[in-house]
Structure 1
């Protein structure tokens, strides 16, 4: 997680861990069961999407906010198919990250305003 994203989250959330790759994300989520996972889609090892899919296959349905540069409709649809999650473009993170985390925590979907509805 970038320092900027960490600073945004720290304004209103407790950041319990940061990881640098998809496999570490899966391990951390298994151990800590955070209320909301905030992850990039493009990560070394396995993608954020693959990490979340792996957790779902194991029976853990995390609430997730994807923070990414990917605005392609097929990627957005894939992410949103994984459950009630948030999808925030990095360019919109200052305005959208905290509302997306709160929506995900409440079991609601959140989509950056600059992304057309899928």
Structure 2
């Protein structure tokens, strides 16, 4: 498999999914589609907030991952094996961590909005 095809099937797929999630966020709390954690599913207000934050972060970091992967494939002569997948995992990890941080700053453990 060529490096460009590998990047398109890993980082490109994540970027495509992030665009779909950003354009079509889940409307109601469900167990199939959306940012699903215990805290994000406590009530509809948290669900909407968490999905908006996660989708924005995922779009940003998946885009950076995709561009980084394309640059890596363009400028390296070595075979790409695990490097694009690390970029995918970092994108997902950073998006989850930033979303959980925002949830912690804006909502209590019981699901009530914090007053600033």
TM-score between both structures, scaled by the size of structure 2? 0.29
- Pick the structure with greater CA Rg: 2
User: Higher strand proportion, which one?
Assistant: 1
